[in-house]
Chain A
Amino acid sequence: MLPTPIVKDVDYEKVYEPAEDSFLLLDCLEEEQEFIQSRFKNIIPIITEIGGGSGIVTTFLHKNILPNSIFITTDINPHACEAILNTVKVNKIDQDQDQDKPSTNSKIPTIPYLIDSCQMDLTSGIKAQEIDLLVFNPPYVPAEIVPEIPTNLNDDTWLDLALMGGEDGMITTWKILDNLHNILNPLHGVAYILFCARNKPDQVAQTMTSRGWNVETVILRKAGWEVLSILKFTKTS
């Protein structure tokens, strides 16, 4: 089993705390490791996690799956943007200490650390058709509304943005799905998106298949009273 990144010093009043859904994503990516690595063996991929939160998923991908990549992680929440960089740093120090190289005593990591954290709504500031690997754990909880973006840094509703997904919990996710052809690199692009049963993932898969996408359920798990699954989207060639 691949090691889970260390996450510490994150304020969980403001940033989404890794939970069953986050760990399902890690398990999914571990299961997909071979597929992902062979898909990107001849290019330097651009990897974007939308809503990176604590940074656990991005750090996991970087440390265990695709270290030689360019990471551009986004989150709408400024506290999360900082947490992502912090988690990357914490795990970097951890790795440096693991390296048993007394002769060089080098602090320089042996893999590139090309991880940028952007405060951004979804992928709105990233060039079209550049992203090779997209990972998204969306706000999937059905709710009356999708909350407005707070204007104050100390607002206590930043966390709501990570959870509440409006009607069927799908308002935010559809923004990505409807635009997926424009977001993903047409040659290599692949997206992993998490759903709960109330998002009606079967219907989503059907709709996306009719639009020319290959949709595959990679993993499905009962987590408390929720049933979570992760769908993989690739363009039919």
Chain B
Amino acid sequence: MKFLTTNFVKCAVKGCQSSQESFPLKYEECQLVQEEQEYNPEFITHMLERLDWNAILKVAHDLGNDRLPPNKPENLDPIMEDDQAVLRDLHTLLLETQIVEGKMVCGNCEHIYYIKNSIPNFLLPPHLC
């Protein structure tokens, strides 16, 4: 499961839908692997527009990365050297970082979801469906 995907998944429990705490999930005991992707700065600037930056910061923190800028980088220009470094960092973090094994915990109901072989499992036991 790519870091990027953490920006789009939440707790599957119905009762958690309206809770602010059910997104992003909290990531624990994660095993990470870097998987090479072609670097495409335009794709990243475009993609940034639709990301929830606070959620990115929280998940990055869970995974031990506190080096991201506190505000979503805007108007990044792939020609500028400073911006290039930011784009490269985002590329590595969002697109190349894979969570291979780990736990995802809902901040509202505390249900634990597992990631195994890069596949997160959001199925619920019958009593939570």
Contact = CB atoms under 8 A, between A and B. Distances in A.
Interface of A: 43-44, 46, 68, 70, 72, 76, 78, 81-82, 85, 108-114, 116-121, 124-128, 130, 149
Contact of A125 (B4, B9, B95, B117): B9
Contacts of B17: 128
Interface of B: 1-2, 4-5, 8-12, 17, 23, 36-38, 40, 43, 46-47, 49-50, 95, 113, 117-124, 129
Given A109-B38, A112-B43, A114-B95, A127 B119 contact: no
Contact of A127 (B2, B9, B121): B9
Contact of A108 (B36, B119, B129): B36
Given A70-B47, A120-B12, A121-B12, A76 B2 contact: no
B87 to A, nearest CB: 14
Closest 10 pairs between A and B when the two form their complex, measured CB to CB? A125-B122, A124-B12, A120-B122, A125-B12, A119-B121, A116-B5, A44-B47, A81-B119, A125-B9, A44-B46
Given A72-B8, A114-B4, A82 B38 contact: no
Contact of B8 (A68, A76, A127): A127
Contacts of A149: 123
A127 B1 CA distance: 16
A127 B24 CA distance: 10
27 contacts: A43-B46, A43-B50, A44-B47, A44-B49, A68-B43, A70-B5, A70-B47, A78-B119, A81-B119, A85-B118, A108-B36, A108-B37, A112-B43, A116-B120, A117-B119, A118-B120, A118-B121, A119-B120, A120-B121, A121-B122, A121-B124, A124-B12, A124-B124, A125-B10, A125-B12, A125-B122, A127-B23
